[in-house]
Structure 1
């Protein structure tokens, strides 16, 4: 077995809305419950991580993992504009302290897709005021918990809205040509459900009513992003970094991005170049002062002169339509490292499958590729598998299974999988 340095962080990741349950003040809770919702089911109690986090972190630690990436829920901490809930910040204080007590390094994400309901009514992720609001939230959290958080990811998958805008444009073009529409999940690394045009129009009308805004001004983090909105995200990140460093300069700050291993066959080079610029390169000026970069990867995409080359019928696919290709992670790390000379943390990597043997195979092959990257001199300091628990995969509901731990949601009993043991053994073999 390849051995990693003792300081290397092996862990797993979750997001608050996907695991905590009853996140009733968030925008996604609203969207799950409106008439004609595109969500296949409601999050409800999720996997009750809010109340069972000690059990879950203990399972992680007992398996040998030494780090845990999770998000704080803004909608819990600031349920109404300008009003912070002390009980909720104390909940997260207890959670972070429990990590430390069990030898687990917390990697805290301040925003992982879900937002307070009130923020969306105020203009959401296309509004300049969000920069101020996000900075205020970050200041409160770091003032309260900063000494407990060695690593902070400000925003999860800051480029997600750009990717969604791209696939929606492609989807509309396919609809206009009346061609077969492939699931959008193979084209964006988040659980979204692209339905018929009429269904989506009804959904947005109902959403507009729920938030009390013109549906054309609905801007959640999962909505297609304009160039202006893309800049808003970067301003939010810069503001958060500024606030964090003012309060505690010792905290390591970064953000995460959804990245594919883009591969070009002859004639596809220009397409791949354009995609890398959209998904990663144009953000570089905004992250130069960061301490680390979070890579999030699940698969590859191959392009020829006529565009994306779809996998053939014999290709192994995950439950969300991604090609099974473990070496995509190393491919992305190598590309990022050409342009980013500081630390890299793999903040998400995984597979949606009900067959855990696939997950084991993915982990073993991907980690071998990651090790090769380190041997080449790339400063990769951690690997967080997505996800610690089978969870609520946004609009796709609970069907896709990403977890190292299965959960019977009728009883909330946890069942660790072989993949957790395999990953834990890798962590235990560090020297």
Structure 2
């Protein structure tokens, strides 16, 4: 290597260390308990976008009309206040590109003012905004130019990112660039946004915008934390999915954003119901969260882990036939977070998905909300607390479950969440717990 190349490499390494230290300093005030939502799924009043077009065209994933979602666009103050009352410290939401730039180069000032007020409400409530720049939705004019198959989309996306970051810098935000990139690509294929053979090009462009956005955000908003959350798939297949995105941006992550919903084991193969969208038929496997975190702690030992999404759907809000409640689900997953921390895994935050029920990408039937909302039958869109609201408030106040707690859902028989590793080397159970403080 030439001397200039060596010097450049050293300076880049030092810059990365400084960025990592600054970002990690943001978590020194304790564990980050959070709730999550997203723009299109909750806001209502949907502008022209790829997903609005999918819904209107009744593509294969659409089962229910969008209607007005749960109208977060006009009820955000209530949802943010409900989060504050639980003691939540992070409120995740999306700033929808399609809403603020409905026509290329033309900004909607009213919608920008709406997001200004959302950020103000979150900050005034003593919470940190976790802002998602891309939660699978882009403007209709981007779709018209070819969506993610067009090179122009990269520059357009980054121009929007710069606009949003510059507007909300200095607000102690945590930034998510692209939500679940590999699932994003799968959804675009399933709904006709791209053809399957175009997937490598879309993934490459998502890698490009993340890498460039990471540098952009750290220039505009120094000391913040930046990541892209990944959906964890069980049975040892995650390494293959990581190769398409996470491995290609490893040096541009301040934490590993993990979304965990279901596992697999010799006594639990119910995850197959997810292929048909019947997520409420999947039997939760809380111990799988431990193995998913252990997988990434071993793969990226210097990266802290933030569970950006975790939740349990019910069938239109009905009780599960097995009697397992949302409170059981919350306590059991928090137990495994505490087990992971006791075993030295650097877990810094947890978001419950989601603060309210919402439009689950074509259907209102899966109900994930801490507050349930009957979007199709209740014109008032009333937020009704589930049993888990009080449970989450208690977990946050007490820094987790108490010593001696045993999960309602016991560990699986030969979990294969991380392939044979999770089966052959299971976590000690019961085992020590560490408070999430």
TM-score (norm 2): 0.76
Aligned to 2:360: 393
Distance across 1 between alignment mates of 2:93 and 2:221: 20
For residue 99 of structure 1, report the CA deviation from its aligned partner: 0.8
SS of residue in 1 equivalent to 2:383: strand
For residue 404 of structure 1, report the CA deviation from its aligned partner: 0.4
Distance across 2 between alignment mates of 1:248 and 1:229: 27
TM-score (norm 1): 0.77
2:307 aligned residue (346, 353, 361): 346
Distance across 2 between alignment mates of 1:36 and 1:66: 37
2:194 aligned residue (219, 231, 245): 219
Contact 1:130 1:236 in 2 (8 A): no
Alpha carbons of structure 1 residues 339 and 25: separation in structure 2 relative to 1, 3 Å: same
Alpha carbons of structure 1 residues 164 and 279: separation in structure 2 relative to 1, 3 Å: farther
For residue 384 of structure 1, report the CA deviation from its aligned partner: 0.3
After superposition, the C-alpha distances for 1:377-402 in whole angstroms (9 at most, x for unaligned) are 2221111011110111112x111111
Alpha carbons of structure 1 residues 225 and 70: separation in structure 2 relative to 1, 3 Å: farther
Contact 1:320 1:352 in 2 (8 A): yes
- 1:62-77 aligned at under 5 Å gives the runs 62-77=85-100
Aligned to 2:18: none
Distance across 1 between alignment mates of 2:331 and 2:197: 35
Aligned to 1:229: 202
Is 1:109 the counterpart of 2:132? The answer is yes
Aligned to 1:46: 69
Alpha carbons of structure 1 residues 371 and 281: separation in structure 2 relative to 1, 3 Å: farther
- 1:139-288 aligned at under 5 Å gives the runs 139-161=162-184, 218-219=193-194, 226-262=199-235, 272=236, 275-282=237-244, 283-288=246-251
Distance across 2 between alignment mates of 1:35 and 1:162: 19
Is 1:323 the counterpart of 2:292? The answer is no
For residue 161 of structure 1, report the CA deviation from its aligned partner: 4.2
Aligned to 2:380: 411
Alpha carbons of structure 1 residues 36 and 88: separation in structure 2 relative to 1, 3 Å: closer
For residue 135 of structure 1, report the CA deviation from its aligned partner: 0.7
For residue 66 of structure 1, report the CA deviation from its aligned partner: 1.8
Is 1:429 the counterpart of 2:398? The answer is yes
After superposition, the C-alpha distances for 1:45-78 in whole angstroms (9 at most, x for unaligned) are 1111110000011011112222211111110111
After superposition, the C-alpha distances for 1:154-191 in whole angstroms (9 at most, x for unaligned) are 010012145569xx8xxxxxxxxxxxxxxxxxxxxxxx
SS of residue in 1 equivalent to 2:107: coil
Contact 2:149 2:201 in 1 (8 A): yes
Is 1:292 the counterpart of 2:244? The answer is no
Alpha carbons of structure 1 residues 326 and 224: separation in structure 2 relative to 1, 3 Å: farther
Contact 2:262 2:271 in 1 (8 A): no
For residue 241 of structure 1, report the CA deviation from its aligned partner: 1.1
Provide the aligned length of Structure 1 versus Structure 2.
360
Contact 2:94 2:133 in 1 (8 A): yes
Distance across 2 between alignment mates of 1:225 and 1:336: 28
Distance across 1 between alignment mates of 2:372 and 2:44: 16
Distance across 1 between alignment mates of 2:48 and 2:312: 30
Aligned to 2:39: 16
Aligned to 1:332: 292
SS of residue in 2 equivalent to 1:12: strand
For residue 44 of structure 1, report the CA deviation from its aligned partner: 2.0
Aligned to 1:382: 349
Alpha carbons of structure 1 residues 116 and 224: separation in structure 2 relative to 1, 3 Å: farther
Higher relative contact order (CA 8 A, sep 6+): 1
Structure 2 unaligned blocks of 5 or more: 1-26, 400-436
Contact 2:308 2:350 in 1 (8 A): yes
Contact 1:120 1:219 in 2 (8 A): no
Distance across 1 between alignment mates of 2:272 and 2:73: 42
Alpha carbons of structure 1 residues 323 and 162: separation in structure 2 relative to 1, 3 Å: farther
Contact 1:298 1:322 in 2 (8 A): no
Q: Which runs of 4+ in 1 moved over 3 A?
A: 35-38, 161-165, 301-304, 308-313, 317-321
Structure 1 unaligned blocks of 5 or more: 169-193, 195-202, 205-217, 263-271
Contact 1:134 1:236 in 2 (8 A): yes
For residue 19 of structure 1, report the CA deviation from its aligned partner: 0.6
For residue 320 of structure 1, report the CA deviation from its aligned partner: 4.1
